[in-house]
Structure formats: structure tokens, C-alpha cells
Structure 1
């Protein structure tokens, strides 16, 4: 049976597709290839998938009602990894309707599609560490209250969790939500700090450092995140009533932003021109994943340190992306 992966041209989605194909699974990838960031990057990710044995691709907007069901007519889908979403905390302040359409309407369409599939086995979907908002207790646990989001992006992801729980309760639809903590690595997102800082530092431009660098992030390397997705996919919460679970996917080792920049300076052999700025609306000071549940249920432990992961990103950026784009 083919596995459906939404957001297949996205950062996490493309890597999940590669992992599933490598172990012999058949994968149907869908993506709307929007221009939130440079489409060249999405095309580069997709190029690594097209032509691989067992992979097929459909350019589909999952938020269009019934479009997905029509595009996949005749496919016997019993497992879905739903990673398509409008990402970015700060962008949600400027374009809120895109988040409601993609993250809420799109999630609803995925739920309805899964409910319509005979013998459906498991939906794994992306949530976010953003749902923890400004919680002061660290590390963040799946049992913590998440009723006070500080960005619309976070509110949409919390809404997805609520909708999924409801469908599990009403229809017995097995689901697992994954709260990702700042996933980074090669072929990542150019709107994230590690990419923005690397590009600016190599070009000799200043970087914007919020809250004097006194912010902490639980950076999760892409290979670790993908390992968690695949492990969870293979083990639906069938014994739970309703069959719905949530897990943190993080590194369990938050790094201070100032120290993060120090690491980049060493890797790039470039001194950063740090431009201090206040906290931005929708941002939080800490993210810190309690990984107890994922380790208990799947034996999962993140393996990639920030120094190693950033080193792999910098190597890729210099050897591949700069050559492809002609960037400095």
C-alpha cells in the first residue's frame, strides 16, 4: 500500500519521503509548491525524489475541498504523513488568512480524506513546539497546558490537535501528532535563523539578534526528526481510547542564541556583526522538549549535537546551494 506524504517538497516532507523510499515503501507525495520561499529550493528537494522507484508526485492544494480525494481516486491509502502547512511564526502576523486556509482548512480536508479511506490505519501529522506559547515551566511536557498561544501560527497548530482528537473520538481514526522543535539541516527553510545568519555572515551583512541573544531553542537535526516520524508511523495508538497521541520531537538540549551564533562563527570562520534588537511579537524566550514519552514508547533518542548538525548544514550550503544559486 502506498504511503501518502503531504508537503513532499517541503523540508521535513522531502526527507521523510527519502527515508520511506530507502526502506522500500511506495510513496505518493503531494505539494502545492507555493512561493512562501524560493521555489527553487522546493524544486531541488523534489528533484531528489522524482524518478526514484516507488515515488509518484501530484501538485495538489490540500485545502481545496475534495481535491485530494479526486486526485488519489483508486489509490489504496491506509497511512498518511501530513506535513503540509503554512509555516513561520512571524509571517502569520502579516498574512493570517494563509494560515487559516492551509493549517486549519487543509487539516480538516486531510481528516476527511483519511476518514473516507477503507481500512485506514494511521495519520501522523505535524504540530509544533509553538503550541507551548510562553510557558515558563521547562522542559515542555506533552501534559502541559497549551491554552495560551502567542502567535496565530501556534493557534492553528493547537486547533489541528483539537480537530484530530475529535476525529479520533468520533470515528476511531488513529492519529499521532508530533510537536517539532526547530528542525534544521541541509535543504532546510531559508526563513529560519540558521540559514538567515549563515547567508548574511558570508555576505558580510549584519544579523539581527533579538533579546540580546538571551533566547534558547531546542534545535532538532533533520535526520533525528525523520527517524521519529517513521518510528511513530509504524506504531499507531490502537490501544488508546480514543486512538490519539501527541509527542515532542526535539533534541532535549536547548542552546542559547548567542552561543548558537558563536558556533556558526567558528564553522564559517567569519565574525558576525550582531545587531541587537528587542523581542519580536509572537516570539518566546525558551523552547525545551521533554523527550520522556517518545523515548519510553519508541526508544527514541536524538543523536545529533548542534555543532555536528550545523556543520553538516554549512558544508551543504557552501558545497551545494552556493554553487547552485551563484550566491556568495
Structure 2
């Protein structure tokens, strides 16, 4: 039984809800924070929390980081996992200001709250998007993303990383910046590719293929990502003077056409394809070099795409919200 309390921002989301369950199972006390952003229905997020909302060691606050540090509850915690963000590369091209407001200013307000409360351990969820179309592969943490960002979402995540470093420098904040690589699995956001493809297949509709189908993503099953986060929390709680950036990926890019075929097999329906132009802001490939996370945290993803898709499809019909 852990004696530590963890604040999880974005606790009602896809990754956040899985993380809360894992932390509670391991005996942590969890304070959850979410603003139920209308990017997708509140009912979906409430379902995400259903399994742990009444847990005796879980406390929930509905609050919006955009409103400043005063909007956050003055609760004692030892470490913060900051998952809350406005997500999505494509929408960020259409609404860049909203991404700055949520992801940059929201992160700044959280950092100020931490400074005021005397909380000095932060796990910050960044994104593989910061690497853009880097020509060096696999993506290492020491590459310079300032030269490769190609979407407002990526820029907002990189700005968050820089703010975290600033607070590490000024206020001795111990911090891990973790760059996530295309997380999928049960509770995945409905706008993401695997979720969208499965729904289209079941509705007997064609699947849009942006580009020629050769773009590839480093798909990482949610339980593996959550394991990396929990290992990061343990690392922060047992070390001081920390500022590190790590990739939490799978280190195996899957081409889009291969992914679509795998989703079709998992659903049991042969895909019909509709080719369309590439979308603005999309990168050609994401490919994580995970050696640093392996060495620092003992991170070792093990879920195959076939098994991950099986678990996703098994979940899908139970939770669809019309």
C-alpha cells in the first residue's frame, strides 16, 4: 500500500482513466481533475470513470486549467501526472488558438499551482508529434524538434516541455517529459484512426486512406503506456534533481494499409478503401527509440498489435454512445 497521493489531470480521458485504475490498484491515493472538454461527449468520459469513481481512495474535481491556478483545489499531493490537453493534429490546424490556450496556458497555470502549493514532482505527457518529419529515425530524445514541428498541436506540446524545463531550472521542479506514440486500446477517443476504422467497418462504409497508405505510426497499447507512466511516477518519487525526456512508444511503426488490414481482421470485415489527399500537419512516420526509457525506467512494451486490437474490439460494442 503506497502512502503517496497522485494528482491526475485529464483523469476522465482515455489514458487518464486507465492510469487512475492502475494507480488505485497499486494502493496510491488519486486526485482526479477534468474539465469534460466537449471535444467528444461527456457521457463517454463518465463511462471511462465508472469503474473507479466511487473508490474510497479517489477524489474527483471538475475544474478547468485555463481559468488559472485558483481554479485548482488546494489538496496535498506528492506528484502530478499532467495528461489534460486539447488533442488532435488536424483540429489544431483549424483552431490553433484553442491549442495554445489549453495546452500552453493550461500547463503554465498548473505549474504555477504546483509552485504555490509546494509540489515539486511532475510527469508531463508530451507527444511524438514534436518530432514532425524528422529525417533521423528512430526518433531519439536528443533530436532538435524546434526544426521539425509541423502542426500547432506539436508546437503546443513542445512549448509545454519548455515551460516544464523552465520551472525545473527556476524552482527545482523534478520532472519527466514523456513523449507518447499513438496510444490505442479500450476507451480510445472516437476521433482516432483505429476507433474510426472499426466503426466504419461495422457500418459497411469505406475507410478513408490519406495519401498512398504508406504513412506509418508507432502504435502503443494503452496498458504499456500506462506502465511507463507508473514507472515514471515511481522514478520521480525516488529521485531528486530530475529533468529527463523519454519516449514511450513501441519501436515498431505500422504502415497505414497494414493497420487497416489488421483492424479488418479484428472486426471480421474486409475493408473497402477510399483514397484521399494527405491531411495538413500529418507526419510521414513516427518511430520511437525507447532505449532511454528502458534504461531509466525499466520500460518494456509487450502487447502485440493483434492482441491490442482484440482487446479494443472486445470493448467497442459495450461502450458506444450514440
TM-score interval (norm. to shorter): over 0.9
Aligned mates of 1:191, 1:125 — CA distance in 2: 23
From 15, 20, 30, the counterpart of 1:27: 30
Aligned mates of 1:305, 1:252 — CA distance in 2: 12
Root mean square deviation of aligned Cα: 1.3
From 15, 31, 47, the counterpart of 1:44: 47
Which residue in 1 is equivalent to 2:224?
Answer: 224
Aligned mates of 1:130, 1:68 — CA distance in 2: 29
Contact 1:60/1:67, CA 8 A, preserved across alignment = no
Query: 1:25 and 1:239, CA in 2 relative to 1: closer, same or farther beyond 3 A?
Result: closer
Which residue in 2 is equivalent to 1:286?
Answer: 285
Find out whether 1:260 has 2:259 as its counterpart: yes
Contact 1:62/1:106, CA 8 A, preserved across alignment = yes
With the length of structure 1 as denominator, give the TM-score of the two structures. Answer: 0.94
Which residue in 1 is equivalent to 2:99?
Answer: 99
With the length of structure 2 as denominator, give the TM-score of the two structures. Answer: 0.95
Aligned mates of 2:59, 2:225 — CA distance in 1: 23
1:220 positional shift = 0.5
Spell out, residue by residue over 1:127-186, the C-alpha distance to the aligned partner (whole angstroms, 9 max, x if none).
Answer: 000000110211000011101310000000000111111110111111111100000000
Spell out, residue by residue over 1:49-86, the C-alpha distance to the aligned partner (whole angstroms, 9 max, x if none).
Answer: 211120011110011112344xx22x212210110000
Contact 1:68/1:113, CA 8 A, preserved across alignment = no
What 5-or-longer segments of structure 2 have no aligned partner?
A: none
Aligned mates of 2:268, 2:122 — CA distance in 1: 44
1:95 positional shift = 1.6
Contact 1:78/1:117, CA 8 A, preserved across alignment = no
1:121 positional shift = 4.0
Spell out, residue by residue over 1:307-327, the C-alpha distance to the aligned partner (whole angstroms, 9 max, x if none).
Answer: 110111011113x124xx4x6
1:231 positional shift = 0.4
Alignment of 1:298-309 (within 5 A): 298-309=297-308
1:304 positional shift = 0.3
Spell out, residue by residue over 1:168-218, the C-alpha distance to the aligned partner (whole angstroms, 9 max, x if none).
Answer: 011111111110000000011111000010000110111110112111100
Aligned mates of 2:6, 2:17 — CA distance in 1: 13
From 3, 6, 11, the counterpart of 2:9: 6
Aligned mates of 1:266, 1:208 — CA distance in 2: 17
Q: Aligned to 1:301, what secondary structure does the other structure show? A: coil
Q: Aligned to 1:13, what secondary structure does the other structure show? A: helix
Aligned mates of 2:56, 2:27 — CA distance in 1: 9
Aligned mates of 2:304, 2:275 — CA distance in 1: 26
Contact 2:14/2:187, CA 8 A, preserved across alignment = yes
Aligned mates of 1:275, 1:19 — CA distance in 2: 39
Find out whether 1:215 has 2:218 as its counterpart: no
Contact 1:128/1:179, CA 8 A, preserved across alignment = yes
Aligned mates of 1:134, 1:60 — CA distance in 2: 35
What 5-or-longer segments of structure 1 have no aligned partner?
A: none
1:101 positional shift = 1.0
Find out whether 1:315 has 2:314 as its counterpart: yes
Aligned mates of 1:48, 1:87 — CA distance in 2: 24
Q: Aligned to 1:116, what secondary structure does the other structure show? A: helix
Which 4+ runs in 1 deviate beyond 4 A? Answer: 237-240
